[in-house]
Structure 1
Amino acid sequence: MAHISRRHMFQLASGAAALAASTSVVPALAGHHKHPFFQISLAQWSLHRAFKNGVAKPENFAYIAKQVFDIRGIEYVNQFYYDTYSDTLIKNLKNQADSEGVESLLIMVDREGDLGAGNKKERKLTVEKHHRWAHMAKALGCHSIRVNARSVGSYDEQMKSAADGLHQLGDYCDKLDLNVLVENHGGLSSNGQWLAGVMKLADHPRVGTLPDFGNFVTNWETGESYDRYKGVAELMPWAKAVSAKSFEFDKNGNAVQTDFYRMMKIVKDAGYKGWVGIEYEGDKEGEIEGIFKTKALLEHIQKADS
């Protein structure tokens, strides 16, 4: 199966795997080998350059996750399937995931409008645009779709509008036994206190959060950002998935921008048990190398916790 320019991909992967294996990550391991509280998944966005420049095909994401990275849980990104969406595509994605023994976890949905749009008509339209991705997620066996809570107006107005749109989508997805998760993804959604308020106001069992370790810039023009550790702690009570965002690593294999040990302690202390998705977004090293380094770091935390 010539899925990706396999020879090229595996050459890169083997080199990156060796590098990750040889990297010394601190602090030292300890413990008595109990089952870790989280499993490691892979967000498709980690390979967005490879998919966009044709090195890899989005349709082969499950194959790549398992065969290249030995990861058995995946998080799709709807942008890669806009032009190819069909029943046949969904069937093929499902068949490949099943054949690889990979679990489809969620679909990250972007570019379908603002769930917190300023008027009811726009919010209703946005909710409807999410329906096809909800049905795709259901067909693939996912537990959730990940959405955005963008809005307009004052702090309180945006909170009310976002909560309304999320509640509507939560009602629809409830019929599909599917969750609707909001990621901190810019603007007020990157303000942990605001998004926690949206969750309380939406007050829906199907509406939750997907805390991302790195998306806490609230104003790109000024560079203003929210404290990432405080923000993740505020979002964890509603978390049904977690995104381990990474950009860059030091010589010991630790993430430069985020203390993964501190962050994962916040995740654990919240009582979370589930998947933690690798989302590498750096540009100082290749995507494959970045994924392997993030995986090695998370595996080290798993062992330290066991």
Structure 2
Amino acid sequence: MPIPSSDRRTFLRTAAASLPFVASTGTVSALRGSSGVATKVNPIRLSCNLYSFNEPLMSGQMTLEQVLMFCADLGFDAVDPTGYYFPTYPALPDDSYVYQIKRKAFRLGLDISGTGVRNDFTLPDATRRNAEIDLVKKWTGVAARLGAPVIRIFSGTGKELPMNYNREEVTTRVVDAIRECTDYAARQGVMLVLQNHADFIQTADHVLNIVRQVNSEWLAVNLDIGSFKIGDPYEQIARVAPYAATWQLKENLFVDGKEEVTDLRKIMRIVHDSGYRGYLPIETLGKGDPRVKVPVFYEKVKKALTAITG
């Protein structure tokens, strides 16, 4: 009985992903094809941050399952669905639904490269801040059940801070909250990744200061290239890149506060030079149908990645 083409594609992608390889220090391992010619294994794979589909997902025009199918058909290796695309958020979804999404992704040949929550650790009120810590912990458990290796978190908006707030004091507050969450995440086998989001964290120094103070192997950075809006973003991205466990690649970034089209080859050079191995989630923003925008940006990113890595 012939195998349906959709299942065949899934099988071929899954089989290719499962081939073993051997890596040596400072080199990328190679596989030999039927011709006997060694070919490099690219340790960087593309994921789709599903915020790209925020409007159709939040309006009900597309379901999470439909978005997964779209991403699989396009050729993504993985997806990154934020927690608020699950029913009942911020309350936890039923495990049955979590496992349904996990199974759907697996059957489509997609990894789940991460998930995320909205949290604010800058809140002055300790009771509310503890509720934010509890939120992160609960969704870290969801990430573990989903099979997501990382969960994205934020420092916080800082919107409720007084005009004359002491940054060092608030940073300590954020560090203490994240440290408590990383201790829990370690027991779940999930890494926390702190996203720079042009809020309380505005510069490379801000994000690196927090990461270094927490000082946990279970905390890294979700490097959002579009959220450094002060100074030279490429210089700041390069400084943070060695601490990144995942990324968010965007169509535009800000040079001295001015929005410009991202130089993707420059970004890929930074990624390559940092020694990063893992997923590069892309995220399209702004108006327009993501079913049109995402494929266009996906091809641009793939082309830039190929130009650097070969």
Q: Tell me how far 1:140 sits from its aligned partner.
A: 1.2
Residue type of the alignment partner of 1:88? S
Q: Tell me how far 1:100 sits from its aligned partner.
A: 0.9
| 1:118 alignment partner, one of 104, 120, 124 | 124
1:238/1:119 CA distance change after superposition, 3 Å: farther
Q: Secondary structure at 1:180's aligned position in 2?
A: strand
1:33/1:286 CA distance change after superposition, 3 Å: farther
| 2:167 alignment partner, one of 131, 138, 155 | 155
Structure 2's unaligned 5+ residue stretches are 1-37, 254-258
Question: Could you tell me which residue of structure 2 aligns to residue 138 of structure 1?
Answer: 144
Q: Secondary structure at 2:275's aligned position in 1?
A: coil
Question: Could you tell me which residue of structure 2 aligns to residue 27 of structure 1?
Answer: none
Q: Tell me how far 1:37 sits from its aligned partner.
A: 4.1
Question: Could you tell me which residue of structure 2 aligns to residue 291 of structure 1?
Answer: 294
CA distance in 1, matches of 2:274, 2:124: 33
Larger C-alpha radius of gyration, 1 or 2?
Answer: 2
1:281 has 2:285 as partner: yes
Q: Tell me how far 1:276 sits from its aligned partner.
A: 0.4
Aligned residues, how many?
258
| TM-score relative to the length of structure 2 | 0.77
Question: Could you tell me which residue of structure 2 aligns to residue 213 of structure 1?
Answer: 225
CA distance in 2, matches of 1:109, 1:98: 22
Question: Could you tell me which residue of structure 1 aligns to residue 72 of structure 2?
Answer: 66
1:292/1:75 CA distance change after superposition, 3 Å: same
| 2:214 alignment partner, one of 202, 219, 226 | 202
Q: Tell me how far 1:233 sits from its aligned partner.
A: 1.8
**Aligned 8 A contact 1:246 1:282 in 2:** no
Q: Tell me how far 1:215 sits from its aligned partner.
A: 1.5
Question: Could you tell me which residue of structure 2 aligns to residue 229 of structure 1?
Answer: 234
1:157-190 CA-partner distances (Å, limit 9, x unpaired): 2221211111110000000110000111122312
**Aligned 8 A contact 1:41 1:275 in 2:** yes
1:214-253 CA-partner distances (Å, limit 9, x unpaired): 1124xxxxxxx343212212221221001111259xxxxx
| TM-score relative to the length of structure 1 | 0.78
**Aligned 8 A contact 1:76 1:108 in 2:** yes
CA distance in 2, matches of 1:157, 1:267: 33
CA distance in 2, matches of 1:216, 1:303: 25
CA distance in 2, matches of 1:121, 1:55: 37
CA distance in 2, matches of 1:124, 1:181: 19
Question: Could you tell me which residue of structure 1 aligns to residue 189 of structure 2?
Answer: 177
Q: Tell me how far 1:289 sits from its aligned partner.
A: 2.1
Residue type of the alignment partner of 2:227? N
Residue type of the alignment partner of 2:117? V
**Aligned 8 A contact 2:224 2:249 in 1:** yes
Question: Could you tell me which residue of structure 2 aligns to residue 258 of structure 1?
Answer: 262
Structure 1's unaligned 5+ residue stretches are 1-31, 218-224, 249-254
**Aligned 8 A contact 2:265 2:305 in 1:** no
1:161/1:118 CA distance change after superposition, 3 Å: same
Compute the RMSD of aligned alpha carbons: 2.2
**Aligned 8 A contact 1:144 1:180 in 2:** yes
Q: Tell me how far 1:132 sits from its aligned partner.
A: 2.3
CA distance in 1, matches of 2:241, 2:123: 25
1:49 has 2:73 as partner: no
**Aligned 8 A contact 2:221 2:245 in 1:** yes
Q: Tell me how far 1:105 sits from its aligned partner.
A: 1.4
